[in-house]
């Protein structure tokens, strides 16, 4: 039977495009599965992302290739591009489910999501958090300013770890079994003691931004619905115009989650309200009232707000402050909490045009301090 849509069922040992032999699965997301493959021509390992086949997905896949080619081209001129994954090749494949676009990448390690799985309660060590955020922000600076690209899906699953030196990269690869299903084992976290990542290894791990599957040009946004819910910027939630600042909002959410082990916003639907309603309410509780010029700048806001600017489906909110949350809930000292909040708040500014840019965030005292 002819199926349309879905993942291509890859067999171990299968050879793609007469060149890439599938060794094992590296991970999967909503749109693709990624396989570790042996490039039989170049005699090295690569990661092949096999996109789902479906009408519409094919276009998205072509966009991803076009954007990645632009990134490759600009990389020749600017070192900041090192923080974005490199596309090596692309091809089309016909499988039992139809056409699949395939993208070939350098092999990286597991994602930040895998790493954070071991630190769910206390967050990652701050020096590592700051270093990785510097790399993410440098990558975003490059995408925004050099390539004029909005990533549109910054989240832990799309930030991949790698080791410059071969043994660390090996270790990362060995501790990773398969995408989000297993976690990197850190020393002290149980499991086989012979093959573990130690906390000191963390400091030599680098990160790169991957997955340009939702990305678009700054001057030509492709869709209204971008980003993954907890990382979605206010302007996107409200259906307003968005731009590169939307990536900075997501990065602030990412920063908080790396540093504390908890999502900054974890919206849930209720009996009388949607997940979006809850999300807007959680944002107001933490960051304060949304000024009317933002709340009412597009008519979808009637979905959320009454005429005087109150939330429609919530009568009571529990305001909390960001430094207060860091101190009370996560045990940070008032000083450390204030310093981190001073970094996060400008990156969560409601007005996108007043939100900190990647360059400004990179210069902030919190991230430059050791």
**From 71-79, 153-161, 164-172, 240-248, span contacting Mg ion (CB under 5 A):** 153-161
Per partner kind, with CB cut-offs from 5 to 8 A, the member of Mg ion, ligand ADP, none near residue 244 is none
As a whole number of angstroms, the distance between CA 119 and CA 114 comes to 10
Could you give the string, one character per residue 191-230, with x where binding to ligand ADP holds by CB under 6 A and - elsewhere? -------------------xx-x-----------------
Inter-residue contact 90 to 42 (CB < 8 Å): no
Q: How far apart are CA 200 and CA 168, in angstroms?
A: 11
Q: How far is the CB of 111 from ligand ADP (least distance, A)?
A: 4
Q: At what angle do helices 245-260 and 126-141 cross, to 10 degrees?
A: 170
Considering only residues 10, 22, 26, 129, which one is a binding residue for ligand ADP as defined by CB under 6 A?
26
By beta-carbon proximity to Mg ion, the closer residue of 113 and 330 is: 113
User: How many of the chain's residues bind ligand ADP (CB under 6 A)?
Assistant: 22
Tokens matching residue 87: 């596309």
Contacts 24+ apart (CB under 8 A), 114-118: 114/176, 114/179, 114/180, 114/182, 114/183, 114/184, 115/161, 115/183, 115/184, 116/156, 116/257, 116/258, 116/261, 117/183, 117/184, 118/183, 118/184, 118/185, 118/186, 118/189
Helix, strand, or coil (residue 106): coil
Choosing from 20, 35, 49, 233, the residue that interacts with ligand ADP (CB under 6 A) is 49
Tell me the C-alpha distance between 305 and 109, whole Å.
44
Kindly tell me which of 158 and 227 has the beta carbon lying closer to ligand ADP: 158
Partner from ligand ADP, Mg ion, none binding residue 284, C-beta < 5-8 Å depending on class: none
Per the annotation, the verdict on 153 as an active-site residue is yes
| CA atoms of 157 and 108, how far apart (whole Å) | 13
x/- contact string, 155-184, with Mg ion (CB under 5 A)? ---x--------------------------
Q: Please check if 185 is assigned to a binding site.
A: no
Residue pointed to by tokens 């602030």? 252
Question: Does 64 interact with Mg ion (rule: CB under 5 A)?
Answer: no
Q: Which H helix or E strand runs over 262?
A: none
Q: Name which of residues 144 to 183 contact ligand ADP (CB under 6 A).
A: 157-158, 160, 179
| Shortest distance in whole angstroms from residue 60 CB to ligand ADP | 9
Choose the one of Mg ion, ligand ADP, none that binds residue 10, judging by a C-beta under 5 to 8 angstroms depending on kind. Answer: none
Reduce the DSSP state of residue 101 to 3 states and report it.
strand
Q: Which of 27, 81, 98, 323 binds ligand ADP (CB under 6 A)?
A: 27
Element (H, E) at 323: helix 322-328
CB of 105 to ligand ADP, least distance (A): 4
- For Mg ion, which is the closer residue by CB, 10 or 112? 112
| β partners of residue 159 | 209
* Pick 70 or 184: Cβ nearer ligand ADP: 184
Task: Select from 111, 147, 98, 154 the least CA-distant residue to 347.
Answer: 154
How far is the C-alpha of 91 from the C-alpha of 62, rounded, in Å?
10
User: Which residues contact Mg ion by CB under 5 A?
Assistant: 29, 158, 211
Known binding residues for ATP: 49
Known binding residues: 49
Active-site residues, by number, are 153
User: Which residues contact ligand ADP by CB under 6 A?
Assistant: 26-32, 34, 47, 49, 85, 105, 107-108, 111, 157-158, 160, 179, 210-211, 213
């Amino acid at each position: 039977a002819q199926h349309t849509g879905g993942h291509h069922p890859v067999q171990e040992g299968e050879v793609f495009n007469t060149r890439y032999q599938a060794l094992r699965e590296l991970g999967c997301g909503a749109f693709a599965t990624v396989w570790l493959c042996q490039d039989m021509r170049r005699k090295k390992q690569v990661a092949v992302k096999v996109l789902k086949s479906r009408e519409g997905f094919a276009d998205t896949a072509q966009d991803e290739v076009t954007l990645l080619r632009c990134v490759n081209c600009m990389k020749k001129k600017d070192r900041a591009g090192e923080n974005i994954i490199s596309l090596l090749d692309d091809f089309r494949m016909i499988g039992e489910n139809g056409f699949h676009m395939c993208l070939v990448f350098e092999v990286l390690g597991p994602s930040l999501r895998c790493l954070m799985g071991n630190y769910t309660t206390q967050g990652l060590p701050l020096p590592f958090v700051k270093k990785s955020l510097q790399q993410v922000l440098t990558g975003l600076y490059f995408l925004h300013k050099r390539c004029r690209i909005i990533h549109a899906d910054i989240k832990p699953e799309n930030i991949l770890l790698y080791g410059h030196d071969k043994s660390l990269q090996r270790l990362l690869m060995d501790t990773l079994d398969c995408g989000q299903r297993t976690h990197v084992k850190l020393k002290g976290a149980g499991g086989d003691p012979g093959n573990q990542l130690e906390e000191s290894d963390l400091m030599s791990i680098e990160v790169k931004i991957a997955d340009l599957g939702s990305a678009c040009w700054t001057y030509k946004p492709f869709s209204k619905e971008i980003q993954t819910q907890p990382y979605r910027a206010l302007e996107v939630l409200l259906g307003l115009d968005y731009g590169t600042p939307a990536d900075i909002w997501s990065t602030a959410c990412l920063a908080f989650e790396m540093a504390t082990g908890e999502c900054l916003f974890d919206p849930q639907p209720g009996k009388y309200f949607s997940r979006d309603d809850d999300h807007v309410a959680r944002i107001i509780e933490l960051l304060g009232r949304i000024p009317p010029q933002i709340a009412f700048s597009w008519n979808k806001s009637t979905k959320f707000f009454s005429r005087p600017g109150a939330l429609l489906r919530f009568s009571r909110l529990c305001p909390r402050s960001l430094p207060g949350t860091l101190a009370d809930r996560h045990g940070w000292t008032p000083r450390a909490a204030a310093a981190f909040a001073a970094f996060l708040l400008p990156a969560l500014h409601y007005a996108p045009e007043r939100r900190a840019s990647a360059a400004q965030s990179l210069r902030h005292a919190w991230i430059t301090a050791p």
